[in-house]
Amino acid sequence: MQALTPRHDQFRNRHIGPSAEETQAMLETIGVASLDELIDQTVPENIRDRKSLQVSSAISEYYYLQHLKGIAGRNRVFRSFVGMGYYGTITPSVILRNLFCNPGWYTQYTPYQAEIAQGRLESLLNFQTMVSDLTGMPVANASLLDEGTAAAEAMSMFYSHRNKRVKGEPANVFLVSDQVLPQTLAVLRTRAEPLDIEIQVSRVADFELNEDRVFGILLQYPGADGRVEDYREVTERARDKNITVTVAADLLSLTLLTPPGEWGADAVVGNTQRFGVPMGFGGPHAAYFATLDSYKRLIPGRIIGVSQDRHGNFALRMALQTREQHIRREKATSNICTAQALLANMAAMYACYHGAEGLTAIAKRTHHFTVLLANALQAAGYSLANESFFDTIHLDVAPEKAAQIRQRAETNGYNFYYPTEGGIRISFDETVATTDLQVICRIFDAPLDYQGAPLTEDGGVEGVEGRIAPALRRTSEFLTHPNFRSYRTETEMMRYLKRLENKDLSLVHSMIPLGSCTMKLNAATELIPVSWPEFADIHPFAPIEQAQGYKELFRELEHDLAEITGFTACSLQPNSGASGEYAGLMVIRAYHQHREEAHRNVALIPESAHGTNPASAVMAGMQVVVVKSDAAGNVDMEDLRAKAEANSDRLAALMITYPSTYGVFETGVVEMCELVHAHGGLVYMDGANMNAQVGLTSPGRIGADVCHLNLHKTFAIPHGGGGPGMGPICCNEKLAPFLPGHPLQDTGGQRATSAVSAAPWGSASILLISYAYIKMLGAEGLRQASMYAILNANYIKARVENHYDVLFTGENGRAAHELILDLRPFKSVMSAGDLAKRLIDYGFHAPTLSWPVAGTVMIEPTESESKDELDRFCDALLSIREEADAIASGAADAQDNVLVNAPHTVAELTADEWVHPYSRAQAAYPLPYLQQGFKFWPSVARVDDGYGDRNFVCTCPPIEEYV
Ligand SMILES: *Cc1c(COP(=O)(O)O)cnc(C)c1O
């Protein structure tokens, strides 16, 4: 409906940086008359789409929140005792307010620049330490996407490790306990199939440990039906036969149970959701991955390690890998890039807040409520499947009885899990209260004989025996580091959170011009509803009738994303861009298989591609053939043609990024798609650069068949310091039938491929953010966002191009939404790393460093930055150029100058002795704006990040040094 009087306050004007006046001035600097003219010169005519997007018209922020309240009202929040990997939890308000709802924590990127990321690096190291301590394993990473993918990562890591040097038939059987969660099993099956891994599911007692055929086993601890069993014996037998043991374990239970690390596991994986992170109808939450020291170089994802800055001070950094280089392209066994940093930070802070005693008390209380329920049910004549359990009981009753119980439970607002017709499972959690116990006992007609017996000091219940066998009780200490003991009061916790936040540069300080990462505004109105209980407190496997609000939202979002990409169908399941790539390629694979062309398994990938592209292709069982680029940075058409012809019979797909990772709208893209189609292949488009396409062109228009979208880039989900993200895929009618399904909810195409994520709609709760973004911008706002992203990049180009070489531009000399500056000509005086570190002294985060071209930086300003901010950034770049010139001319010292010593810390500047030939003011306040509140102080001096010449030791795992 058309508003009678449009509101003055339109979201578009809050989201897009430059005002009308500023736009005019910027266009003049660029040398074009209008924004339309600039776009005409930038986006090739043969792919231009001039139709208006068919999405609803823009609504104001105020009205959007009203509208969403209506949708929220259609979700019904039941008491959830479903378990199955997702539990009720209490997010401490101090963490909710100061971390989860705080842009100082959620707007950062992955900690590439260690000097301005020490806060979240410490928090992620806390996470690793927490996981390591609780699982009893020596090394842990800084999060993965979900428990299902973490288990799949372990499977594929051990498979490739075992068979790396083996000739002949590989051992390809992976034995999976029938106690493994069904969604984990689905994700394992998906991952196993293209790698020719055979999954065999059985009772652990029936495992046939044949060392010639079996490379690994997977146990669930406690089991899906709640059982707590002793797996020492099977573990020992497996290890004797060179078969690795992975355990999917519930972290809270490990406060009471002997951790798998103490009984010989090779890897322990799981979810940390119940450590203070709401269920959110499936996510986001942080999964964990812990393993033995001997596998540390194979661990998927990022690991934080202890290092030093150039003064020898303690400093943290990402270890064993730098940036995308850790994704090993064609040799990859994993494609993980964006993970779940923000949620890992929440879980780590939850552990800091509660400490070992608090977590143990929570676990004991949960356990004892479960015991009280079990006792009551047994006294009433029900028999339980297991005598030994932690928080979950399973009972089998007659199907009619189960139906009756379910009906009574739902009438009372309770959800349990019903795995079979007569099976009932109930899982308790931190939120359980005496009233819950009373209501549930009434539902079962089981008298509750507990009359408010007091909890004992250690969280038990007086006079009630626990149900964990003595042999399985944990005796070892955990979380002994001071970080897990010092922040128990709200005052201390609040200040700890703030102290760490203050060490990190985020979007609350200044622009983060990371090319390919699209660090745009994450608007408060988009974010606020994520913590509303109607969205946060729904279990992903709740009956869909209770999630009608979510359902409606998914339907609209799927429609809008399909419209924006020029496609007809969408899957919201993948939890990151890389996960989307993998999902999209699996869909292509299923398409070829369905047409009885399963032999099509070659993926053509340009050499400029992001590392995740070849890694995803390998995971989808494809053979990667690399296509060269020409001197202008475009895909070399001759090479593409030759390789498509040479592989014509086996061509599965071409993977391209558009505009290219070099920031160029290649004009040959339509021809590329046609060529690949002519050879029977399909085209996968990496949608990381959609911020230059939305409303102007689309993957569908260009001729691709499927693409992913990084909702955490183009569609305003904050990066959270390295996740969460969402990577939905959109596709045309050919591929729609194969979109991924899920074992526990109805989703996906008619011939759905099996799940790529543990949750049916991935990290459902943050889909709200992208939904809000689209609703509040509307068709015209979305198009303008792309136009302004291009304007801002070209403005920077115009301002700096006489001082830096801009690599690769389009046919009319225009950049797309990002641009690459070549630092190689300055090599003798300034490396790309020096520029990156010196920018910190100027109050800025570095652009993307040495990717996609070594020795360069890639700048992406996004539409959200104003002219003032762009000018400060350009002034900084120009000033740094002058500093480099001074070194070149001999005016500044070649060895001891502002560039190589950057960034400068307060400690260094205020030391009694100042030993450098330049002044303190030159070091810290090289431009006047820095005196006006724009100064950001790094908490450590330069940390070797793998690009510099100085090779500082980086220890990993850090745990021993750290504790
Ligand atoms: C960010 C990015 C990816 C990977 O996305 P994640 O969400 O980090 O997995 C893939 N391709 C390109 C070009 C990217 O910029």
* Whether residue 180 has its Cβ less than 6 Å from ligand 1: no
What is the rounded CA–CA span in Å between residue 219 and residue 177?
5
Q: Are 170 and 597 in contact (CB under 8 A)?
A: no
DSSP strand E in 824-950: where? 848-849, 856-859
Query: Residue 332: what pLDDT?
Result: 83
- The H or E element spanning position 821 is strand 819-822
**For residue 576, how far is its CA from the centre of ligand 1 (angstroms)?**
8
- Inform me whether the pLDDT recorded for 694 exceeds 70: yes
* Whether residue 710 has its Cβ less than 6 Å from ligand 1: yes
> Angle formed by the axes of helices 867-889 and 20-30, to 10°?
40
- Inform me whether the pLDDT recorded for 501 exceeds 60: yes
* Whether residue 516 has its Cβ less than 6 Å from ligand 1: yes
What secondary structure does DSSP assign to 351-389, as a single string? HHHHHHHHHHHHHHHHHHHHHHHHHHHHHTT--BS-SSB
Alpha helix locations (H) across 59-181?
Answer: 61-72, 93-95, 103-106, 118-135, 147-163
The closest-lying atom of ligand 1 relative to the alpha carbon of residue 579 is: 9
- Inform me whether the pLDDT recorded for 946 exceeds 60: no
Pick the CATH number of 49-59+543-777 from 3.40.1350.10, 3.40.640.10, 3.20.20.210, 3.40.50.300: 3.40.640.10
Query: Residue 959: what pLDDT?
Result: 37
Mean pLDDT, to the nearest integer, of 14-33? 98
Look at ligand 1, atom 15, and give the residue with the nearest C-alpha.
516
Q: Which two tokens stand for residue 233?
A: 């014996």
* Whether residue 375 has its Cβ less than 6 Å from ligand 1: no
Query: Residue 329: what pLDDT?
Result: 79
Q: Which of 7-11, 36-40, 357-361 has the lowest mean pLDDT?
A: 7-11
> Residue 320: pLDDT band by 50, 70, 90 thresholds?
low
**For residue 335, how far is its CA from the centre of ligand 1 (angstroms)?**
10
Query: Residue 460: what pLDDT?
Result: 61
**For residue 663, how far is its CA from the centre of ligand 1 (angstroms)?**
14
Say which CATH architecture domain 116-350 belongs to.
Answer: 3-Layer(aba) Sandwich (3.40)
* Whether residue 338 has its Cβ less than 6 Å from ligand 1: yes
**For residue 860, how far is its CA from the centre of ligand 1 (angstroms)?**
14
Question: Among residues of the chain, what percentage have pLDDT more than 70?
Answer: 95
Residue type, 919: S
pTM over 0.95: yes
Per-residue pLDDT tens for 419-429?
A: 999 999 999 99
> Residue 945: pLDDT band by 50, 70, 90 thresholds?
low
- Inform me whether the pLDDT recorded for 2 exceeds 70: no
**For residue 5, how far is its CA from the centre of ligand 1 (angstroms)?**
41
- Inform me whether the pLDDT recorded for 962 exceeds 50: no
Q: Which two tokens stand for residue 315?
A: 């400093």
Q: Which of 334-338, 638-642, 647-651, 799-803 has the lowest mean pLDDT?
A: 334-338
* Whether residue 436 has its Cβ less than 6 Å from ligand 1: no
> Residue 296: pLDDT band by 50, 70, 90 thresholds?
confident
- What's the distance, CA 49 to chain centroid? 31
* Whether residue 726 has its Cβ less than 6 Å from ligand 1: no
The dihedral sign for the CA sequence 821, 825, 831, 835: negative
**For residue 609, how far is its CA from the centre of ligand 1 (angstroms)?**
10
* Whether residue 625 has its Cβ less than 6 Å from ligand 1: no
Query: Residue 956: what pLDDT?
Result: 38
Q: CA nearest 23: which of 688, 827, 865?
A: 865
What residues are paired with 653 via a beta bridge?
A: 603, 682
Q: Which two tokens stand for residue 38?
A: 């600039």
Which residue shows structure tokens 């807040």? 353
What is the rounded CA–CA span in Å between residue 195 and residue 566?
32
Q: How crowded is residue 533: how many other Cβ atoms within 10 Å of its Cβ?
A: 11
Q: Which two tokens stand for residue 178?
A: 């029938």
Per-residue pLDDT tens for 887-942?
A: 999 999 999 999 999 999 999 999 999 999 999 999 999 999 999 999 999 999 99
* Whether residue 610 has its Cβ less than 6 Å from ligand 1: yes
Per-residue pLDDT tens for 172-195?
A: 999 999 999 999 999 999 999 999
* Whether residue 335 has its Cβ less than 6 Å from ligand 1: no
Mean pLDDT, to the nearest integer, of 282-293? 97
> Residue 524: pLDDT band by 50, 70, 90 thresholds?
very high
What is the rounded CA–CA span in Å between residue 655 and residue 614?
9
Mean pLDDT for all residues in the chain: 94
The closest-lying atom of ligand 1 relative to the alpha carbon of residue 727 is: 7
Look at ligand 1, atom 3, and give the residue with the nearest C-alpha.
577
- Inform me whether the pLDDT recorded for 323 exceeds 50: no
Cis omega (within 30 of 0) for bond into 957: yes
CA-based radius of gyration for the chain: 28
Domains 49-59+543-777 and 116-350 share a fold: yes
The closest-lying atom of ligand 1 relative to the alpha carbon of residue 657 is: 13
Q: Ligand 1: which of 153, 321, 581, 610 to mutate, judged by most atoms within 8 Å of the beta carbon? A: 610
Domain spans in the chain, listed from the N-terminal domain onward: 49-59+543-777, 116-350
Q: Ligand 1: which of 112, 302, 338, 656 to mutate, judged by most atoms within 8 Å of the beta carbon? A: 338
∠ Cα 319 322 325 (to 5°): 130
Per-residue pLDDT tens for 189-210?
A: 999 999 999 999 999 999 999 9
List Cα–Cα distances, 845 to 37, 113, 311, 353, 928, in angstroms.
Answer: 31, 8, 21, 31, 18
Per-residue pLDDT tens for 670-692?
A: 999 999 999 999 999 999 999 99
> Residue 465: pLDDT band by 50, 70, 90 thresholds?
confident
> Residue 576: pLDDT band by 50, 70, 90 thresholds?
very high
Per-residue pLDDT tens for 757-802?
A: 999 999 999 999 999 999 999 999 999 999 999 999 999 999 999 9
**For residue 286, how far is its CA from the centre of ligand 1 (angstroms)?**
18
Q: How crowded is residue 76: how many other Cβ atoms within 10 Å of its Cβ?
A: 16
* Whether residue 719 has its Cβ less than 6 Å from ligand 1: no
- Inform me whether the pLDDT recorded for 952 exceeds 80: no
* Whether residue 669 has its Cβ less than 6 Å from ligand 1: no
- Inform me whether the pLDDT recorded for 461 exceeds 70: no
Mean pLDDT, to the nearest integer, of 89-104? 98
* Whether residue 686 has its Cβ less than 6 Å from ligand 1: yes
Calculated CA dihedral for residues 216, 165, 290, 126, nearest 10 degrees: -170
Mean pLDDT, to the nearest integer, of 284-307? 93
**For residue 820, how far is its CA from the centre of ligand 1 (angstroms)?**
17
Q: Which of 391-395, 456-460, 500-504 has the lowest mean pLDDT?
A: 456-460
What secondary structure does DSSP assign to 193-252, as a single string? HHHTPEEEEE-GGG----TTTEEEEEEEES-TTSB----HHHHHHHHHTT-EEEEEE-TT
* CB-based burial label for 585 (10 Å; 0-12, 13-18, 19+): buried
∠ Cα 565 571 572 (to 5°): 100
What secondary structure does DSSP assign to 557-620, as a single string? HHHHHHHHHT-SEEE---SSHHHHHHHHHHHHHHHHHHTT-TT--EEEEETTS-THHHHHHHHT
**For residue 426, how far is its CA from the centre of ligand 1 (angstroms)?**
39
What is the rounded CA–CA span in Å between residue 857 and residue 343?
29
Q: Which of 221-235, 415-429, 445-459, 607-621 has the lowest mean pLDDT?
A: 445-459
Q: Are 212 and 163 in contact (CB under 8 A)?
A: no
**For residue 194, how far is its CA from the centre of ligand 1 (angstroms)?**
22
* Whether residue 814 has its Cβ less than 6 Å from ligand 1: no
- Inform me whether the pLDDT recorded for 126 exceeds 90: yes
* CB-based burial label for 347 (10 Å; 0-12, 13-18, 19+): buried
Strands 602-606 and 651-657, bridge-based pairing: parallel
The closest-lying atom of ligand 1 relative to the alpha carbon of residue 725 is: 7
Query: Residue 457: what pLDDT?
Result: 56
Look at ligand 1, atom 14, and give the residue with the nearest C-alpha.
688
Calculated CA dihedral for residues 521, 323, 344, 484, nearest 10 degrees: -120
Query: Could you tell me which residues come within 8 angstroms of residue 751 by beta carbon, excluding any fewer than 6 positions away?
Result: 590, 594, 737, 738
Which residue shows structure tokens 């033995």? 292
- Inform me whether the pLDDT recorded for 1 exceeds 70: no
**For residue 88, how far is its CA from the centre of ligand 1 (angstroms)?**
32
Per-residue pLDDT tens for 861-884?
A: 999 999 999 999 999 999 999 999
What is the rounded CA–CA span in Å between residue 402 and residue 424?
7
Strands 423-427 and 392-396, bridge-based pairing: antiparallel
